[in-house]
Structures are given as structure tokens and as C-alpha cells.
Chain A
């Protein structure tokens, strides 16, 4: 699903956290969003997922405007996300977290459960099985029954990715999915992201690990002080003077 961000701005008082940003993400593409701390990357993700409303500009999914819709409506259009500061349901097990992620895909009406119909039980068993398959995909099947707050940082990130994928989203927003992971874990997440994109989903990824971004992304958008300062393939971004200046300072 194509995501188009057009002239998007969001101000917090006098601070323009996102300032006239434009870019597109195509289906099957891994699109990197990078920039120094405070560049407005997470704000941009919050705008796309509907947690914040833009002060100007528009956001389109397949040509349909989504800015101003509530987060649950946007999710229903096929957008799923993870969070920089992990927002798992801490008291629930890993598997239950992923079952919640299937909310939009489950349609069994409650009266069937009230009447103790076997179809309701069958639907639940299927949801559990799908959750376990989702956890296996991120290598977390052994921790299915562990409560989320007892998992390590890296494990929580992986469960959060599984929860996001459980809704079969067409656009996945990942906010620093490999933060706090060792290189081996980060590598397996990178492989997973590639697979997800290969299924035809669009991926928008915030990441600080520069080498990972360069290897993984098809295209990159660089933000600095809320403005897009560069757009292009990893190779183009790597030699862009504006990007080098933003990361290393003008004197470099």
C-alpha cells in the first residue's frame, strides 16, 4: 500500500517538530527514516498512525486521506506499528499480546461464545495457533507463555514486531526495531523486515544503526530539525554533503 506524505508539518508551540516533510513509501519497499536525535522521526510516525494531528499538510494511503482519522480507523485501513519505548501489554503473555494484535482480523461475534457454540472455540484455537506461528517467526515461540514485562529488552522488541504483523498490515511502521539488540539479533530482525517487504507490504523504518539502514533499505529519507534534507537510495544518501554535515557537523 502506497503511503504518501505531502507537505506535512506539526508544531508544538514554537517548535516545528515536523516541517513541510514530503516522501512516499511504495508496497514492497523498505523505506528508512533517519536523522539526528530530535529530528522529528517519531513525531512523523505518530502523525501517520493518527496519535497526533498534523498542523498542515496531508497523509494519503492509496490516495485516500487519513490525516485526522482516529488511530483505530487508521489501523483498520491496514497500518500497524511498533514503538521506540516499547508498548507491549505488560501483564499479558507474549502469545496474548499477539492475539490482541489479531483484533482486526477476528470477526467471531460474542453471542456465539455466549451460546457455547463449538465454532467460537474453533475460532479461538485458530487465533492461538496463529499467535504461536507469529511468535515462531520472530524466534520467540519458547517464550509464548511468559508475561511481557518479564522478557528482556530485545525479546520485547521481537514480540512487539510479531504483534504488529499479526494484523496482516499493508503498511508497517517500525520505530527503532533493533535498539538494545546484539548484532546477531539485529541481523535476524533485518532478515525478517526484508521478508515482510517481499510479501508486498510497505515498511517505514526508523533506525540509528547506520550500517543496518544502508544494507536493509531500498530508499532513505533524512530528517533534520523536522525538514527533509535528503532523499534517495542508500548509496546516494551516503555521499550527500547535507547528510554528512547534519551527522558530523558543518566543520567536518
Chain B
């Protein structure tokens, strides 16, 4: 058991980091806003954390993580004020634009070695730091549900106009969730940077935010823990398939990607509410056999 844990230590760490990233997307998704700026926020958090650790080695890791969450959250406010007026696809496009701007900024910033990024970051992230960060994030998001703010967020998701005439300050709520998502993404970015020893702009490209979104949607956004299940599933799946492919004597590369894609497609088609809805769907099947 101990050996197994050691062998899969980095896989477990990535499940945790990806879970945080999927939750950062969920933060805005739960009030109906499709914001794809989170790869950018993650980059800001990662660079903030890495720079603090490298240039000011005396600072405790907790303070580094706090700064890595606060800086992107603060940047989210002036971004959100104009951008959150947009709806649906337009918000998505504008926030993708922000993510690209952040990436290109780091590509061109000589202080952080441009496209090469920062290397030899001391490993300060341990499994329990990731677990703690995930637990705190889940706790906050879980307590939000059912509270006055949680109800307001659901109302905004369902019908923003009606929510406004109920007295809900929709702009403020949306902005707060964008900042919260940015903080979670920044935290995950810093945790990852201090786990993989490096940060580079290529790690925060458009593909990264798509990954987060897919994990959140596959897990399901009807429950706050859905994105965690999605992240765990999609992070572990390729590793499991690697093993399966090897046992069956198949060439590793293409088969694995094909099966990965097929499973993803199956989840989207048959579980539109994500993996969290699986128990309910099964129960219905048992009660009413087709």
C-alpha cells in the first residue's frame, strides 16, 4: 500500500491540482458565466509564487500561496467590470483573449526569462498542502450553497433579469465569483509551480483552460464536488488506459488517446449532467427497466 502510494504520488498531486483548477471554472460557471480566463489567472499565480520563492527565499510558503491567490483575484476586478457585461459566447471569447494576453506578456518579459520561463524552483508543495488547499476550497464552495449568496448565484444563473428585480446586485455577485475563481486558479498555479520545479508560458495556453472546463463539465456542475470527480476521472483515466493498453499488447500512443476521447464523448452524451448524476441515472434505470 505504501509502495503504491509512493509510485503514484505525482499522479495524486496532479489530481488535486486539476481538481482545484476545475473548481476555479466552477466558481463562475455556477452563476452562469462561461469565463475562460483561468489559465491566465493560473499563470499569474504561478509566476507570483515562483518569483517570491526565488527572489525572496525567506518568505514562508503560506504567505507565498496567499500572494499567489490574492494577486490574480485583484487583477480579476478591473478585468471583470467591463467583461462581465458580456454574455455567453462573447464573455468566453473576451476572457480567452485575456488569457492569451497574459501568456504573451510572460513570453516577452525578460525578467522571467521569456518563453523559457523560471526553472529550479524549490519543491515546496507536498501532497498534504494540496489536500489542505482542496479541502479549504471545497469547504468554502460547499458552504456557499444554500446560503443567501448561494441562492443569489443560482438565481443569476437561471434568469439574470429576474434576479435583478429581486434586488440582487448581479454585477457584484458575478465579480466576486470571478475573483474567487481567479484566486483558486492562482493558488493551483503556485502549487503546481512548486511541485514541478518550473513555470513557462507554454503551460498556460488555451488548451489548459479547455482542459479545466472539460473536467468541470464531465464531473458535473450541478454539485460543487462535481468538478473534483471530473478532474480525478480525467487525470487518472489516461494512466489506467496506459496499463490496459500494455496488457493487451497494443501500441501505447494512438489507442490510448482514442479510448480517452471515446469515454469523454460517452459521458457527455449519456450523462449531460456529468458523472455526479450517475447514481441518480442508474437508480432510474433499475426502477424502470427499458
Binding site for B on A (CB under 8 A): 49-51, 70-72, 74-76, 80-81, 83, 87-92, 96, 99-101, 103-104, 106, 108, 110, 113-114, 120, 124, 163, 167
Residues B154 and A89 in contact, CB atoms below 8 Å apart: yes
Chain A nearest CB from B32 CB (Å) reads 11
Closest to A123 in B: B148
Residues A87 and B159 in contact, CB atoms below 8 Å apart: yes
Is B255 in contact with chain A by the CB < 8 A criterion? no
CB contacts (< 8 Å) of A96 on chain B: these are 151, 154
CB contacts (< 8 Å) of B169 on chain A: these are 72
Of B149, B152, B157, the most chain A CB neighbours within 10 A belong to B149
Residues B148 and A89 in contact, CB atoms below 8 Å apart: no
Residues A113 and B167 in contact, CB atoms below 8 Å apart: no
CB contacts (< 8 Å) of B148 on chain A: these are 103, 106, 108, 110
A72 to B173 Cα, complex, angstroms: 12
Residues B151 and A99 in contact, CB atoms below 8 Å apart: yes
Residues B166 and A75 in contact, CB atoms below 8 Å apart: yes
A54 to B164 Cα, complex, angstroms: 18
Known: A87-B161, A163-B166. 20 other contacts (CB 8 A): A72-B164, A72-B168, A72-B170, A76-B167, A80-B165, A87-B159, A89-B162, A92-B155, A92-B158, A96-B151, A100-B151, A103-B151, A103-B152, A104-B166, A106-B148, A108-B147, A110-B148, A114-B140, A124-B147, A167-B166
Residues A113 and B143 in contact, CB atoms below 8 Å apart: yes
CB contacts (< 8 Å) of B143 on chain A: these are 110, 113-114
Given A96-B154, A100-B152, verify A87-B162 contact (CB < 8 Å).
yes
Tally A-B pairs: CB < 8 A.
Answer: 84
Is B119 in contact with chain A by the CB < 8 A criterion? no
A51 to B159 Cα, complex, angstroms: 14
CB contacts (< 8 Å) of B249 on chain A: these are none
CB contacts (< 8 Å) of A99 on chain B: these are 151
CB contacts (< 8 Å) of A103 on chain B: these are 148, 151-152, 155, 166-168
CB contacts (< 8 Å) of B147 on chain A: these are 108, 110, 113, 120, 124
Chain A nearest CB from B117 CB (Å) reads 36
Is B146 in contact with chain A by the CB < 8 A criterion? yes
Residues A83 and B162 in contact, CB atoms below 8 Å apart: yes
Residues B158 and A167 in contact, CB atoms below 8 Å apart: no
A38 to B139 Cα, complex, angstroms: 51
Q: List 15 A-B contacts (CB under 8 A).
A: A70-B164, A71-B165, A72-B167, A89-B154, A89-B163, A90-B158, A92-B155, A100-B151, A100-B168, A101-B166, A103-B167, A104-B166, A114-B139, A120-B147, A124-B147
Closest to A149 in B: B158
Binding site for A on B (CB under 8 A): 139-140, 143-144, 146-149, 151-152, 154-155, 157-159, 161-170
Residues B158 and A89 in contact, CB atoms below 8 Å apart: yes
Residues A89 and B164 in contact, CB atoms below 8 Å apart: no
Residues B149 and A110 in contact, CB atoms below 8 Å apart: yes
A99 to B152 Cα, complex, angstroms: 10
Chain B nearest CB from A6 CB (Å) reads 22
CB contacts (< 8 Å) of A81 on chain B: these are 165
CB contacts (< 8 Å) of A101 on chain B: these are 166
CB contacts (< 8 Å) of A114 on chain B: these are 139-140, 143
Give 3 nearest A-B pairs by CB, closest first.
A75-B167, A89-B158, A104-B167
A70 to B143 Cα, complex, angstroms: 29
CB contacts (< 8 Å) of A89 on chain B: these are 154-155, 158-159, 162-163
CB contacts (< 8 Å) of A74 on chain B: these are 165
Residues A75 and B140 in contact, CB atoms below 8 Å apart: no
Closest to A71 in B: B164
Closest to B152 in A: A103
A91 to B151 Cα, complex, angstroms: 12
A113 to B147 Cα, complex, angstroms: 8
Chain A nearest CB from B236 CB (Å) reads 30
CB contacts (< 8 Å) of A51 on chain B: these are 161, 164-165
Residues B164 and A75 in contact, CB atoms below 8 Å apart: yes
CB contacts (< 8 Å) of B162 on chain A: these are 83, 87-89
Residues A167 and B167 in contact, CB atoms below 8 Å apart: yes
CB contacts (< 8 Å) of B157 on chain A: these are 91
A49 to B168 Cα, complex, angstroms: 13
Closest to B169 in A: A72
- Which of A49, A76, A92, A124 interacts with B154 by CB under 8 Å? A92
A96 to B153 Cα, complex, angstroms: 12
A51 to B160 Cα, complex, angstroms: 12
A208 to B96 Cα, complex, angstroms: 48
Closest to A77 in B: B167
Closest to A75 in B: B167
Chain A nearest CB from B148 CB (Å) reads 5
A50 to B165 Cα, complex, angstroms: 8
Residues A100 and B170 in contact, CB atoms below 8 Å apart: no
Residues B166 and A91 in contact, CB atoms below 8 Å apart: no
Closest to B151 in A: A100
Chain A nearest CB from B180 CB (Å) reads 12
Chain B nearest CB from A88 CB (Å) reads 8
